[in-house]
């Protein structure tokens, strides 16, 4: 019974580290390198509409990038790995909050800590969902290979 319980819940640290490194390498680094164009609007002041569009584009970039990385980790792993990309996504959200704390405080001037918690939970759930979809695609591919044989 202990062996079965151990197999049903296992946390693969290699995929956790891989997911976090993929997020930093393929998401945080480009965001940091090209982020000035995404974070700050080109025409501040009277062109307030651009600031809203820039913030929306930044949120799409952040959430979309996290979802793609979690999907790829779920697709490429051999075992069932949903918890690992979700945990890496949560840690990555904390990294983003530390890296861009001035941006977070400019989004929500009243309660920046609440905004960090909210976006961290959103990233955690999105990472888990994307990794689960990657696992489902992987299972479907394996099933299709067995039918062909």
pLDDT of residue 84: 93
Given a cut of 50, whether residue 46 has pLDDT beyond it is no
45: left (phi over 0), alpha (psi -120 to 50) or beta: left
Give the mean pLDDT of 75-101. Answer: 87
pLDDT of residue 107: 55
**Which of 71-75, 104-108, 141-145 is most confident?**
71-75
Given a cut of 60, whether residue 80 has pLDDT beyond it is yes
Mean pLDDT of the chain: 78
Distance CA 146, CA 93 (A): 39
pTM above 0.85, yes or no: no
Distance CA 83, CA 80 (A): 9
Q: Which of 43-47, 81-85, 88-92, 114-118 has the lowest mean pLDDT?
A: 43-47
Give the mean pLDDT of 18-38. Answer: 79
- Residue 24, C-beta contacts closer than 8 angstroms, at least 6 positions apart: 92, 95
In the chain, alpha helices (H) = 2-8, 13-23, 29-39, 48-76, 83-99, 101-107, 112-148
- Residue 73, C-beta contacts closer than 8 angstroms, at least 6 positions apart: 15, 18, 19, 22, 81, 84, 85, 88, 131, 134
Given a cut of 80, whether residue 7 has pLDDT beyond it is no
């Amino acid at each position: 019974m202990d062996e079965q319980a151990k197999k049903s819940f296992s946390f693969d640290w290699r995929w956790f580290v891989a997911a976090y490194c993929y997020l930093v390498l393929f998401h945080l680094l480009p965001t940091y390198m090209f982020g000035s164009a995404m974070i700050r609007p080109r025409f501040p002041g009277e062109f307030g509409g651009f600031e809203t569009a820039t913030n929306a584009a930044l949120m799409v970039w952040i959430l979309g990038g996290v979802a793609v990385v979690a999907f790829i980790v779920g697709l490429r792993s051999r075992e069932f790995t949903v918890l690992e990309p979700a945990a890496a996504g949560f840690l990555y959200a904390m990294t983003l909050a530390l890296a861009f704390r001035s941006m977070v405080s400019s989004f929500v001037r009243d309660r920046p800590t609440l905004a960090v918690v909210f976006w961290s939970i959103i990233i955690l759930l999105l990472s888990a969902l994307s990794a689960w979809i990657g696992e489902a695609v992987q299972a479907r591919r394996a099933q299709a290979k067995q039918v062909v044989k």
